[in-house]
Amino acid sequence: MKYIDMHCDTMTVLYRKHEDLSHNDLHVDLEKMEEGECLLQNFAIFTNIAREDSSFTWKVIDFYEAQMQKHRDRIRRVLNYEDILENDRNGCMNAMLTLEEGSVVDNDLAQLDAFYDRGVRMITLTWNYPNGIGCPNFTYAKETQGNPLYTFNEKDGLTDFGIGYIRRMEELGIIVDVSHLSDAGFYDVAKYSTKPFVASHSGARSVCGVARNLSDDMIRLLAKKGGVTGVNYCSEFIEDHNETYTSIQGIVDHVRHIAKVGGIDCVGLGSDFDGIGNALEFKDASGMQLLYQALKPYFTEEEIEKIFWKNVLRVYKETMK
Ligand SMILES: [Zn+2]
């Protein structure tokens, strides 16, 4: 069963380690993707704005383009929906360029056009810092009280700049991603967006209560807007206070809950591969068929197709230009 994965940090890690996508010791490389039957992998350029600025983002984009050029016989970047179908027909896997941290536009919406021109097709509006677009649920700040994973922000939504930001994204055909965003920001995106949006790497809060997951109300609203949430494999997001190990059944539990609450059309996959530090039962991208097998007792083949790739592909078709 082929799959689409809406989020990994692999490209940013490879850039830092000067390693190659074909073969490495990370969760994702071309060999593992082929073994796991990958149809499309989103590659996020993650910029930590406490340490780096947008010049870093552009450098990693250069690196991504060089990797795509080097391995074009096995994987090709997608700029529109038709590219995905054509690459698949030609026996190539697909790569979509995404940004994790929307403020790398440096307060200038014209920079969104510049990123679009270089192939960016999805943007996670915030990471774990407030950024001029909106706020995350928890921030990595000294004044944060208690466990930040269980801190919710129902007050600070999108700024005026943030509202203009998602409007311009939609005009260009860049998909809005609400993972990391505050609860207030989520509801603002639902209010101001006119197209389906995604939570690229977030599970269900009713199964594991961290603020990075979506509440049942959010899941219903996301589904109503035609969006998809990609279940994140990080152990702390799968099971409360589990910092060490992600079981396959744990992921299945999130998929089942999201499908029950929001319907089968709103659930997808968002591994967070190479952004998570804990061990996984199926190890890495090569083990994706073990997840497929584990879903079989609960879902029909057609339903698993939707979970594994068709739901996300539908959103891409409706949002990209
Ligand atoms: Zn993330």
pLDDT of residue 211: 95
Residue 252's alpha-carbon distances to 220, 235, 307, in angstroms, are: 19, 13, 11
Distance 180 CA to ligand 1 centre (A): 7
Predicted confidence (pLDDT) at residue 148 exceeds the cutoff of 90: no
Alpha carbons 223 and 219: distance in angstroms, whole number: 6
Distance 90 CA to ligand 1 centre (A): 31
Distance 149 CA to ligand 1 centre (A): 13
- Angle separating helix axes 54-70 and 10-17, nearest 10 degrees: 90
Q: Provide the pLDDT confidence category of residue 249 given band limits of 50, 70 and 90.
A: very high
Are residues 251 and 212 in contact, defined by beta-carbon separation less than 8 angstroms? Answer: no
Helices (H) and strands (E) in the chain, counts: 13, 11
**pTM to 2 decimal places:** 0.97
- Angle separating helix axes 248-262 and 288-295, nearest 10 degrees: 50
Distance 8 CA to ligand 1 centre (A): 8
| Segment 202-228, tens digit of pLDDT | 999 999 999 999 999 999 999 999 999
pLDDT of residue 240: 96
User: What structural domains does the chain harbor?
Assistant: 3-319 (3.20.20.140)
Q: What is the mean pLDDT of residues 242-250?
A: 97
Q: Cα angle vertex 135, ends 309, 131, to 5°? A: 100
pLDDT of residue 145: 62
Q: Provide the pLDDT confidence category of residue 16 given band limits of 50, 70 and 90.
A: very high
Distance 35 CA to ligand 1 centre (A): 25
| Segment 38-93, tens digit of pLDDT | 999 999 999 999 999 999 999 999 999 999 999 999 999 999 999 999 999 999 99
Distance 297 CA to ligand 1 centre (A): 30
Q: What is the mean pLDDT of residues 305-321?
A: 97
Q: Residue 245's beta-bridge partner residues? A: 279
Distance 232 CA to ligand 1 centre (A): 9
pLDDT of residue 321: 84
Distance 172 CA to ligand 1 centre (A): 23
Q: Cα angle vertex 51, ends 275, 130, to 5°? A: 80
Distance 7 CA to ligand 1 centre (A): 8
Distance 79 CA to ligand 1 centre (A): 22
Distance 66 CA to ligand 1 centre (A): 24
Q: What is the mean pLDDT of residues 3-20?
A: 98
Distance 89 CA to ligand 1 centre (A): 31
Distance 201 CA to ligand 1 centre (A): 7
Distance 213 CA to ligand 1 centre (A): 11
Distance 100 CA to ligand 1 centre (A): 7
Alpha carbons 60 and 44: distance in angstroms, whole number: 10
Q: Provide the pLDDT confidence category of residue 268 given band limits of 50, 70 and 90.
A: very high
pLDDT of residue 151: 86
Return the beta strands (E) in 200-290 as ranges.
Answer: 228-231, 245-246, 267-269, 279-280
Q: Provide the pLDDT confidence category of residue 143 given band limits of 50, 70 and 90.
A: low
Q: Provide the pLDDT confidence category of residue 141 given band limits of 50, 70 and 90.
A: low
pLDDT of residue 74: 98
Distance 179 CA to ligand 1 centre (A): 7
Distance 126 CA to ligand 1 centre (A): 9
Q: Provide the pLDDT confidence category of residue 175 given band limits of 50, 70 and 90.
A: very high
Label each residue of 219-231 as H, E or C. Answer: HHHHHHCCCEEEE
Q: Cα angle vertex 159, ends 130, 195, to 5°? A: 105
Distance 270 CA to ligand 1 centre (A): 10
